[in-house]
Amino acid sequence: MRLLLTACATAALVAAGPVTATAAGQGSQGPVGGDLLTAKPTVVATGASPPAVQASAFVVADLDTGQVLAAKAPHAKLRPASTLKTLTALVLLPRLKKTDPVIGSDADARIIGSKVGVYPGLHYTVDLLFQGMFLASGNDAVHALCAHDQGGVPATIQRMNAKAKDLGALDTTVTDPTGLDADGQYSSAYDLALFAQAGLSRPDFAKYASTKFTNFPNAGNKGTYQVANQNKLLFSYDGALGVKTGYTTLARNTFVGAARRNGHTLVVTMMNAPHGITEDAANLLTWAFANYGKLQPVGTLVRPAATPPKTTTDHKATTTGPEPGPDRPDRSRTVLSPGQAMQSLALRIPIWVYAAPPVLLLGLFLRRPRTLRRGRRH
């Protein structure tokens, strides 16, 4: 009897496997991006040894092919700091009209952390606020953009979490769209690479990410001041495409940077680095470009999951279905692989259904003939 109960319990757990596997994988029961990305706690690379870097986690990937070329603790859940603004941009860019006017508010100016200089009562365009968000990592610009969208900051957070899930960025939980050290807010080097891949496929995202300088209005409209991009890779690395940097006390230095050379577009993401992040990023990119022909992929950047179209009443939207944009493929043409189809079906079935067959089977074994039970009483 004890063996039977153990077998039934094991069968129920195995059957429930696809439900819990979604926390680790997409389209299969393995880790997101492949088994190798969680097989080792240190560096994973095949074909050449990458240079040593100080970050606790990093990913080097080819954005065109989706191949992960090297990684260290890629799925470690760490604080993203302002690199999370890449996801914020992915949500807001398709929703807001670039020429829309936005008036700065007291709430924008009072926000903590890095600021570009959004003043109460001063007029800005959505386009200029995106520049302030990318170049100066302005939390005030992020707040103004979120407030301009329907539902404000709370709705933006919900959309960011939904977008992360849609992209397969299952290590990411958003509680503050600026990337500040909010409770429960985490991402991973792997997820940041997914955000960069989706972002750089959008011309507007790519333009903001690579812009070196812009001008912002002074208070009282008394002239302008120059704002420089904080991603120093743009100024020192041949072929750099920028993207986003970040820093907080708890996150330490975080980084997303991309470059294009010899027909290849590579991204490097790093998290929890004490210092020297620009030099380390340049070394990783140079190593990857130099050894590209030798390197064997150790994983992949997953593709966005298929989602059914839905009617939206969001701000600026007048059509049905998902919001348009280069980062949103045509879902009507998306075909699920057998693993994804099976997992999608499994997720729609309540967990208790998996346990029902073993329980019924157990009942059959427990029902013994009455004559046998009476015979054992004597």
Ordered by where they begin, the domains of the chain are 2-27+337-377 (no CATH), 43-316+325-333 (3.40.710.10)
* C-alpha separations of 185 from 58, 143, 158, 180, 249 in Å: 18, 17, 13, 8, 14
Distance CA 333, CA 347 (A): 22
Q: How many CB atoms lie within 10 A of CB 67?
A: 17
Distance CA 147, CA 151 (A): 7
pLDDT, tens only, 286-344:
999 999 999 999 999 998 765 444 433 344 443 333 343 333 333 333 333 333 333 33
Distance CA 56, CA 280 (A): 12
What φ, ψ does residue 137 adopt, rounded to 5°?
55, 40
Q: Give residue 17's pLDDT.
A: 31
Extended beta strands in 50-175, E state: 57-62, 67-72, 101-103, 123-125
What are residue 243's DSSP bridge partners?
Answer: 257
Give residue for tokens 């009476």. Answer: 374
What are residue 320's DSSP bridge partners?
Answer: none
Tell me which residues of the chain have a pLDDT lower than 70.
1-30, 39-41, 305-378
Q: Give residue 220's pLDDT.
A: 75
What φ, ψ does residue 130 adopt, rounded to 5°?
-65, -40
Q: Give residue 30's pLDDT.
A: 63
Strand 252-261, strand 264-273: pairing: antiparallel
30 within 8 A of 54, measured Cβ to Cβ: no
Instruction: Point out the residues that are catalytic.
Output: 82, 85, 137
pLDDT, tens only, 124-161:
999 999 999 999 999 999 999 999 999 999 999 999 99
Three-class secondary structure of residue 22 per DSSP:
coil
244 is in an annotated binding site: yes
Helix axes 126-135, 85-92, angle to 10 degrees: 160
Give residue for tokens 């404000």. Answer: 152
Instruction: Record the pTM.
Output: 0.75
Tokens of 63: 């954005």
Q: Give residue 168's pLDDT.
A: 95
341 within 8 A of 207, measured Cβ to Cβ: no
113: left (phi over 0), alpha (psi -120 to 50) or beta: left
CB-based burial of residue 77 (10 Å sphere; 0-12 exposed, 13-18 middle, 19+ buried)? middle
Q: Give residue 303's pLDDT.
A: 87
Distance CA 377, CA 29 (A): 50
